[in-house]
Amino acid sequence: MDKFLETKNLHRFFGGLHAVNDVSVSVRKGQIKAVIGPNGAGKSTFFNLIAGTIWPQQGQVFFQNKNITNQKPHVVAGLGIARTFQTTRLFGQMTILENIMVGRHLRMRSGFLACMLNLPQTWRQDRESKARALEILNDFNLLDNAHDVASNLPFGLQRLVEIARSLAMEPDLLLLDEPAAGLNIYETKELAQLILKIRDKGITCLVVEHDMSLVMNISDEVVVLDQGIKIAEGPPRAIQRDPEVIRIYLGDDHAAHTES
């Protein structure tokens, strides 16, 4: 499948601000694709347009050749797209284990009635879900924290839990919104390894990121946004040499130097 995820001419305005301007991007299966750009470039807006948090005024989003434009987040999630948030959004008063178990929601089949009557299928499913959640925590080396309340964890671990929770969905595509934000240099390195590991499991990753070092080391392809417009797309090496990219990141002077 060549075009696993595809956006076609997306437009989104906020009042007079053209936050996303005619952005068409396609992601291949098994890729790590990064979207970079300076602050206010429209990265997060673009990201939210895919996740269904906000809807485009124009353009379409396709996932596995299915039009998912104007679908609500839970529908998008149901199709196999998981996401994390720029500012981690854990269920603060719940334990890590419970957080992960909510991530299993789409795999649970019991409704209100079955749960109220505590039917055997309910607790059987719950047991399976718990076992699977513990496996995931084990993969993330978080087993010791399983019963810790989420809001008590240090920031770096919270980010990790959020990624673990989205993987509990067993998605085909993982959207990571600035995963390195607020992490120190060592944590960022570990994060890079983690994202590669996720990709190796067959999960396609789309990373919106500010941190160039992370992006350049792990992505197969990079898209650069500036003021809502896609200004470059290609492999990291080519992007690093692109004068337009250098200009928006470092200013006109630098661009002139590298060109000469």
Q: Which spans of this chain sit near other proteins (rule: CB under 8 A)?
A: 51, 53, 72-74, 77-78, 82-83, 85, 89-94, 98-99, 101-103, 105-106, 108, 110-112, 115-118, 122-123, 125-126, 129, 147, 165-166, 169
Scanning the chain, the segments in alpha helix (DSSP H) are 43-51, 73-78, 96-103, 112-116, 120-139, 155-167, 185-200, 212-218, 236-241, 243-250, 252-259
> Which are the contacts of 109, defined by CB distance < 8 A and separation ≥ 6?
121, 125
Closest to other proteins by CB, 120 vs 202, is 120
Q: How far is the CB of 100 from other proteins (least distance, A)?
A: 10
Q: How far is the CB of 103 from other proteins (least distance, A)?
A: 5
AA identity, residue 217: N
Q: In 28-106, where do the E strands start and end?
A: 32-36, 58-63, 66-67, 81-83
Closest to other proteins by CB, 75 vs 196, is 75
Q: How far is the CB of 238 from other proteins (least distance, A)?
A: 33
Closest to other proteins by CB, 21 vs 158, is 158
Q: How far apart are CA 251 and CA 228, in angstroms?
A: 18
Q: How far is the CB of 243 from other proteins (least distance, A)?
A: 37
AA identity, residue 141: N
Quickly tell me which residue has 């649970």 as its tokens: 108
Quickly tell me which residue has 């797309």 as its tokens: 233
Q: How far apart are CA 161 and CA 55, in angstroms?
A: 28
Closest to other proteins by CB, 23 vs 77, is 77
SS3 breakdown of the chain: % helix, strand, coil, rounded to 5?
45, 25, 30
Count of CB atoms within 10 A of residue 10's CB? 25
Q: How far is the CB of 244 from other proteins (least distance, A)?
A: 33
Closest to other proteins by CB, 94 vs 231, is 94
Closest to other proteins by CB, 111 vs 202, is 111
Q: How far is the CB of 90 from other proteins (least distance, A)?
A: 7
Q: How far is the CB of 106 from other proteins (least distance, A)?
A: 4
Q: How far apart are CA 202 and CA 23, in angstroms?
A: 26
Closest to other proteins by CB, 85 vs 226, is 85
